[in-house]
Amino acid sequence: MRKHNKAVPILVTMFITALFFFVLSPVFKSQAGSLGNTYLFLSRIQTNLAGTTGQEVEMILAFTPSQSFYLAENTRVDIFFPMADNAKWCRAGGSLTVTGVTSGAPDVTGGHEITAALPGTLSATCSQGNGTTTVDTISITGVGDLVNTQTYGVKLANNTGILGTSATSGSRTVAIQVSDNNNLDSKAFGVYLIADDTVEVTATVAAAPTVTCTLSPVTISLGTLYPGGGLVEVLSSDQISTSSTNSGYYWAAYGKGNGTNAGLYSGAHLIQSGTGTGTVNISAGGSEGFGITLTQPSGATVTTDFLTGTPGVYGSLGANPSGARLILYKASETSPAQSASVYYGARAGSSAPSGTYTEYLTYVCGGYY
């Protein structure tokens, strides 16, 4: 009686089954890699922003793929947020405004620099996780062909979907994934949130310190002087007036004279204003000279040589700007305006020839700031 080997049919059956499975099953190729240069720029890093007015959050994602991805194979980009942050990064589910960009604030030339806008007919959505099996996710679809020689940039902003931030301070781990039907690149890293990301800077703009100066009248006549005659004095009432804001003020004066010394000059003779320092005393008969004195406003100071007091004694003036002398000042603010009257005194000596004598006095006003 012939014995049959029961193992043979079993082996044949297994072989045929394996062959059938191999023939009918599709071939699936899977390549996974890590993204290259990557950053996620958040326009706000403050915790618990709700994405409402004044709390809007925008994002710029930059990444370099490690391999090629193709539009025909449904290329997409996903951003996954922590499970514990459910409904915080995506405050409202819906579409986002998505734009390919060629630069971002963190760009570093030759390093983490966006070199191309993310291509394709892009659309983006923000979806909330349930906190147990799904997470807040931003998905960008319609992505065009990608190559590993470019760093791509894409900007995301609110639309019907509203972006926000986690309620938890510190590092929050996000994952970036680029994929098509056959390939996948990914990278996880932390973004850091703080309780307050905005510094309030205040300043007060105050009116600039100013001084207002008035000189009037600008023509003074001493009348007629006689050789060896008496002293002539003319008062110009309230000739100089000053007010100031947040500053003090000063007045100085100098003459022209004969170009070297101040005084009344006819072209042939100079009735000199002393030596340009101290005082000139023309109180005595036979003396000659020219000078000025001032009345003193309340709170201000007329310098000693120019303060009215001794009859016939006047302040001596220098010639030219280098001979200017301080005649009146006040160190603090003046409001309302203050005025000072100026006395002009002159006496012609016995040798003074007849003629028209003129002096051009220049008054200078300024502020102490």
Which residue, 167, 193, 219, sits at the end of a domain?
193
Residues 312 and 172 in one domain: no
Does residue 12 form part of some domain?
Answer: no
The structure tokens listed for 101 are 């960009």
Does residue 288 form part of some domain?
Answer: yes
Residues 135 and 231 in one domain: no
Does residue 275 form part of some domain?
Answer: yes
Residues 216 and 151 in one domain: no
Instruction: Give me the pLDDT at residue 131, please.
Output: 87
CA 83 vs. chain centroid, Å, equals 41
Does residue 159 form part of some domain?
Answer: yes
Q: Which amino acid is at 54?
A: G
Per-residue pLDDT reduced to its tens digit, 225-260? 999 999 999 999 999 999 998 899 999 999 999 999
Residues 75 and 102 in one domain: yes
SS (H, E, C) the chain: CCCCCCHHHHHHHHHHHHHHHHHHCCCCCCEEEECCCEEEEECCCECCCCCCCCCCCCEEEEECCCCCECHHHCCEEEEECCHHHCCCCEEECEEEEEEEECCCCCCCCCCCCCCEECCEEEEEEEECCCCCCCCCEEEEEEECCECCCCCEEEEEECCCCEECCCCCCEEEEEEEEEECCCEEEEEEEEEEEECCCCCCCCCCCCCCCEEEEEECCCCCCCCCCCCCCCCEEEEEEEEEEEEEECCEEEEEEEECCCCCCCEEECCCCEEECCCCCCEEECCCCCCCEEEEEECCCCCCEECHHHECCCCCEEECCCECHHHCEEEEEECCCCCCCEEEEEEEEEECCCCCCCCCCECCCEEEEEEEC
Instruction: Give me the pLDDT at residue 17, please.
Output: 36
Cβ neighbours for 90, distance < 8 A, ≥ 6 positions apart? 81, 126, 127, 128, 129, 136, 137, 138, 161, 162, 163, 164
How many CA atoms are closer than 13 Å to the CA of 252, on its beta-carbon side?
14
Separation of alpha carbons 215 and 147, rounded Å: 80
Residues 147 and 270 in one domain: no
Give the pairing type, strands 31-34 and 183-193. Answer: parallel
By the 8 A CB rule, do 73 and 181 touch? yes
Does residue 4 form part of some domain?
Answer: no
Give the pairing type, strands 279-281 and 313-315. Answer: antiparallel
Residues 344 and 260 in one domain: yes
Residues 145 and 185 in one domain: yes
Separation of alpha carbons 11 and 326, rounded Å: 123
What is the CATH number for 35? 2.60.40
By the 8 A CB rule, do 126 and 157 touch? no
* Total structural domains within the chain: 2
Does residue 188 form part of some domain?
Answer: yes
Instruction: Give me the pLDDT at residue 147, please.
Output: 97
Residues 233 and 188 in one domain: no
Does residue 7 form part of some domain?
Answer: no
Residues 294 and 154 in one domain: no
The structure tokens listed for 236 are 């110009």
Residues 180 and 252 in one domain: no
Does residue 19 form part of some domain?
Answer: no
Separation of alpha carbons 244 and 298, rounded Å: 15
Which residue, 164, 193, 222, sits at the end of a domain?
193
Low-confidence ranges of the chain (pLDDT < 70): 1-31
Residues 180 and 227 in one domain: no
Residues 292 and 156 in one domain: no
Instruction: Give me the pLDDT at residue 16, please.
Output: 33
In this structure, the dihedral spanned by the alpha carbons of residues 15, 19, 25 and 29, taken in order and rounded to 10 degrees, is 90
The structure tokens listed for 17 are 């089954």
Residue among 164, 39, 51 nearest 104 (CA):
39
Domain range enclosing 224: 210-368
| The overall pTM is greater than 0.85 | no
